[in-house]
């Protein structure tokens, strides 16, 4: 298999190394020409994945056209908000029979599009040849070969199963799923809830609070996901609850970190400026808030995260607002389904 990974962040680099270990011919594309040269010279991603060697057999390049031409699989590992700008030079490219798989987890602010929709908007891609890889999978752990299970989702189950076979090995297990929209939404929206969990940690609310936010958070993810056409059961899997657990609890979680710093009283712009990597949940909060308003869906945790991040209310004010909402029956999800 000839595979190209577009985006040499921590996760993109980890995916490239994994695929090389699986016997694939791998190209890793880096947006910055200067940093691509650094990666080639030192074979280590100092910024995003330190102390993990990049095998010599992986081709590292800044040439985007060469990266996508003649590949069996192209993996998109660029943060969601940067995808359009990063790929402007090859806009309209026809991928033909190439499988294009996204490992990014977000919703584009300007359009409220999921990554698969963005890619199909700027490229010519067969709808059955596009997929996403999602689930609890921090690069820091996968790169050290710690056992990890994720899901590959595609509209065509054959495509998902193909990716499952290519990516799986003795430490990385990939399940197949044909609910592409559900897997993408789970991966994107859990970042919003992870910010809320981090805020709870930073503000000192306790374990009870975080457990409640996570549990009610998956309910919010299901509400919006089902309204947009996803299947409810997808959110009980690896791309839903699985990814939510690890992102809300892990020391590696960038989104939980942002929330924690906010909970401690730090300024959002300063937090983001000091971070090397992107916390996708900040931008996704805007899109989730807009989609909830557009479709008339109640997402109280998401709304409070939005107000904390962008309207300056305090975590304690937000929490009081959540706790004093009208009491209701626990399971009120069915009414949000399209059917």
DSSP string, 286-297: HHHHHHHHHHT-
What's residue 332's pLDDT?
Answer: 66
Answer whether 209's CB lies under 8 Å from 319's CB: yes
* Confidence at 203, pLDDT banded by 50, 70, 90: very high
- Answer yes or no: 286 catalytic: no
Q: What is the dihedral of CA 282, 286, 287, 293, to 10 degrees?
A: 150
Provide the whole-model pTM: 0.95
Helix 157-167 crosses helix 10-21 at what angle (to 10 degrees)? 80
- Which tokens go with 320? 């009081």
More confident residue, 300 or 333: 300
What's residue 277's pLDDT?
Answer: 87
Average pLDDT, the chain: 96
Residues 87, 83: Cα–Cα separation, whole Å: 6
What's residue 177's pLDDT?
Answer: 97
Q: Which domains are seen in the chain, by residue range?
A: 2-178 (3.40.50.720), 182-336 (1.10.1040.10)
pLDDT of residue 276 exceeding 90, the answer is no
* Confidence at 333, pLDDT banded by 50, 70, 90: low
Per residue in 156-185, pLDDT tens? 999 999 999 999 999 999 999 999 999 999
Residues 35, 313: Cα–Cα separation, whole Å: 39
Order of all β-strands in the sheet with 148-154: 59-61, 25-29, 2-6, 73-76, 99-102, 130-134, 148-154, 172-177
Answer whether 20's CB lies under 8 Å from 91's CB: no
pLDDT of residue 217 exceeding 90, the answer is yes
Per residue in 57-68, pLDDT tens? 999 999 999 999
Residues 36, 61: Cα–Cα separation, whole Å: 6
Report the pLDDT averaged over residues 31-55: 97
What's residue 311's pLDDT?
Answer: 97
What's residue 160's pLDDT?
Answer: 98
pLDDT of residue 339 exceeding 70, the answer is no
* Confidence at 212, pLDDT banded by 50, 70, 90: very high
Percent of the chain with pLDDT over 90: 96
What's residue 338's pLDDT?
Answer: 42
Q: Which of 20, 71, 105, 190 is catalytic?
A: 190
What's residue 27's pLDDT?
Answer: 98
pLDDT of residue 2 exceeding 70, the answer is yes
* Confidence at 314, pLDDT banded by 50, 70, 90: very high
Per residue in 69-84, pLDDT tens? 999 999 999 999 999 9
Answer whether 214's CB lies under 8 Å from 193's CB: yes
Per residue in 12-30, pLDDT tens? 999 999 999 999 999 999 9
Answer whether 98's CB lies under 8 Å from 129's CB: yes
More confident residue, 69 or 336: 69
pLDDT of residue 132 exceeding 80, the answer is yes
């Amino acid at each position: 298999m000839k595979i190209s990974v577009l985006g040499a962040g921590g996760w993109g680099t980890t995916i490239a190394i994994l695929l090389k270990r699986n016997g694939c011919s791998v190209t890793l594309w880096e947006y910055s020409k200067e940093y691509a040269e650094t990666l080639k010279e030192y074979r280590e991603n100092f910024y995003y994945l330190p102390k993990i060697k990049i095998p010599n057999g992986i081709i590292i390049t800044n040439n985007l056209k060469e990266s996508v031409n003649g590949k069996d699989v192209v993996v998109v590992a660029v943060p969601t908000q940067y995808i359009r700008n990063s790929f402007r030079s090859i806009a309209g490219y026809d991928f033909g029979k190439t499988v294009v798989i996204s490992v990014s987890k977000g919703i584009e602010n300007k359009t409220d599009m999921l990554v698969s929709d963005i890619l199909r908007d700027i490229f010519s891609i067969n709808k059955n040849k596009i997929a996403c890889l999602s689930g609890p999978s921090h690069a820091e752990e996968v790169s050290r070969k710690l056992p990890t299970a994720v899901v590959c989702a595609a509209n065509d189950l054959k495509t998902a199963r193909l990716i499952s076979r290519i990516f799986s090995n003795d430490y990385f297990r990939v399940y197949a799923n044909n609910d592409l929209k559900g897997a993408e939404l789970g991966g994107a929206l859990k970042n919003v809830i992870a910010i809320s969990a981090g805020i709870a940690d930073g503000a000192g609310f306790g374990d009870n609070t975080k457990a409640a936010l996570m549990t009610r958070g998956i309910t919010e993810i299901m509400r919006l996901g089902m309204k947009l056409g996803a299947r409810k059961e997808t959110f009980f899997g690896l791309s839903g609850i699985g990814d939510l657990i690890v992102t809300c609890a892990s020391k590696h979680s960038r989104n939980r970190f942002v929330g924690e710093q906010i909970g401690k009283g730090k300024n959002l712009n300063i937090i983001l400026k000091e971070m090397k990597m992107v916390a996708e949940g900040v931008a996704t909060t805007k899109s989730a808030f807009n989609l909830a308003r557009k479709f008339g869906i109640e997402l109280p945790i998401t709304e409070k995260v939005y107000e904390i991040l962008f309207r300056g209310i305090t975590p304690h004010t937000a929490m009081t607002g959540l706790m004093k909402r009208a009491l209701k029956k626990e399971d009120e999800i069915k009414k949000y389904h399209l059917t």
